[in-house]
Chain A
Amino acid sequence: MITTSGLTKVYRSRGREVTALDGVDLHVREGEVYGVIGRSGAGKSSLIRCVNLLERPTAGTVTVAGQDLTALAGHGPRAGRELRRARSRIGMVFQHFNLLSTRTVQDNVELPLEILGTSGGERSRKALELLDLVGLSDKAKAYPAQLSGGQKQRVGIARALAGDPKVLLCDEATSALDPETTRSILQLLRDLNRQLGLTVLLITHEMDVVKSICDSAALMENGRIVESGTVSELLATPGSELAAALFPVGGDVSGDDRTVIDVTFHGDAAARPVISQLSRTYNIDISILGAAMDTVGGRQVGRMRIELPGGYEENVVPVGFLREQGLQIDVVERADHESVLVKDGAK
């Protein structure tokens, strides 16, 4: 649904060049929620702004719903009619809502329809319908300043949906909200994704956002996508930083006579009670040091850090048993330094 290839953005200011995007290849499938995560300055914002060409990429192409937007853009700095029409079919939600303070909630939602040239009656019908969809039908006549942050973002979402987009871009849509409101907004985005078949591309610096609604995720660092894939693909990738951050496990190795291993569950094996099987088969005591598990579609996905008595040499057979079950096993070295991202995610 959204494909970028070789997307590069270089900012030039006063002779200095800053590369915000460095050959980004992104592929978002139709109907999925795709999260791009990274620190501030990693280039996430530039990426999402390049998707609807609010920022002109220096090189590379952007294709949304089969339409090559970079070809529509032309060379001038201003957006031509074709590009503007394409943009009206891409919804965008902002971190700071960007609602017009002088317009009521309903008028804010009607704004994209005014731009599309929809007639007055049709506009208000559509706006009220969308407000109902986001659960704000009673606030149609209120001004944005009278709303809470979460309500403002709901208006922002309703406004983004006014042009019947197939694609919704969320630029840190929940970063200005408290955790509880964040959950309700994410739930709303999830519902819209399912009900309307909306493809959602969101950028965030919060691991929880990716964890709670994303089907796929990508990690950005220094303008590049370092890792990407569906959540279970990421889990299956040995040493995936993103998987480690999505499913953080804690607990350090306590002594030489202990073996600590990380067990990653993805796929069919996750349905079977392997840990208790292991315990019974080899008659060993297993301590669980940490675990981050989720049930997705009836299957358990996640990671668990367990401790087995005895050194690694003594545990070759049990580890082999776990591998035979189709689980991914990583032996944790002593004084293992976890990456900073993992610690961020664990918070």
Chain B
Amino acid sequence: MTWSEMRPLLEQACGDTLYMVGWSTLIAVVGGLPLGILLVLTDRGGLLQNVLANKVVGQVVNVARSMPFIILMVALMGFTRAVIGTTIGREAAIVPLAIGAIPFFARLVETAVREVDHGLVEAVQAMGGNTWTVVRRVLVPESLPSLISSATTTVVALIGYSAMAGTVGAGGLGDIAIRYGYQRFETGLMWITVAILAVVISVIQFAGDLAARRLHRRGGGSGAGPALRLPKARPEETAATEEPAAANVGKVV
């Protein structure tokens, strides 16, 4: 296969992947954010404590997360047809992708929101704020860096899932790698696809980390940001005194 043959294939596949992942991420965030916050609020000791609702939602999330994506896709075919009108093509793939990603993202949101200091919630309550104020002014803004990291993780997971969307004729980079690379022994094309995926994921991860770190630093959170990698101080430096090492770290940060 020559480059001129591969190029349109790859361009189409990149477009498909971005389209599917983009929309499903959007839906996952819109659906998963409230769900995750709800999981925290309804938990024991939460602002909207409702142990039964919490258990039910938690269980639904667990079941949805435990399902292999390809099974989920098949299981949702009826629903997909009802929503999109067809079970084939990239639009149809968005439905199971988004539904698979909502509980995934919701769990990550839950973890991120749980990290918010309860004292802040108490402070807003003491000012006369209601639950909505607490969510909007405290829980979401204070956990935003973690939420962005969670969204990044979700995007990367969705790119992985989207490889299987090829089974419903949705295309995408993963599909090219399987159909051409694996099934037709087009090793060259396969490696190019894998390389593109690697680059795309690296870029997304980098952008996500950067955004999270920016926000974290603007907030001036104490210590290092969530994904901040500090260069390790060389042994001889650490041996000398702690002060200069700390000063260096400060500069790098």
Contact = CB atoms under 8 A, between A and B. Distances in A.
Interface string B106-136: 0000000000010110111111111101000
A96 interface: yes
Contacts of A279: none
A116 interface: yes
List the 8 closest A-B pairs by CB distance, nearest first.
A145-B220, A88-B128, A98-B123, A143-B220, A92-B126, A102-B219, A84-B128, A112-B127
Nearest to A103: B141
A77 interface: yes
B220 A111 contact: no
Interface residues of A, number: 31
B142 A100 contact: yes
Nearest to B128: A88
Contacts of A78: 47-48, 130-131
Nearest to B117: A98
B194 interface: no
Interface string A129-168: 0000000000000011110000000000001000100000
B144 interface: yes
Nearest to B122: A54
Contact of B133 (A52, A96, A115, A159): A115
Contacts of B125: 54, 79, 87
A85 interface: yes
Interface of A: 52, 54, 77-79, 84-88, 90, 92, 94, 96, 98, 100-103, 111-112, 114-116, 143-146, 159, 163, 169
Contacts of B142: 100-102
Taking each of A86, A115, A146, which has the highest tally of chain B beta carbons within 10 Å of its own beta carbon? A115
By size class, the interface of chain B is 20 to 34
Given A78-B131, A87-B126, A100 B137 contact: yes
Nearest to A86: B128
Interface of B: 47-49, 117, 119-120, 122-131, 133, 137-138, 141-142, 144, 215, 218-222
A87 B129 CA distance: 9
A84 B125 CA distance: 8
B130 A94 contact: no
Contacts of B126: 52, 54, 87, 90, 92, 169
A145 B127 contact: no
A197 to B, nearest CB: 21
Contact of B127 (A96, A103, A143, A163): A163
Contact of A100 (B49, B138, B218, B222): B138
A163 B128 CA distance: 10
B123 A101 contact: no
B128 A112 contact: yes
Contacts of A114: 137
Taking each of A85, A98, A111, A159, which has the highest tally of chain B beta carbons within 10 Å of its own beta carbon? A98
A144 B128 CA distance: 22
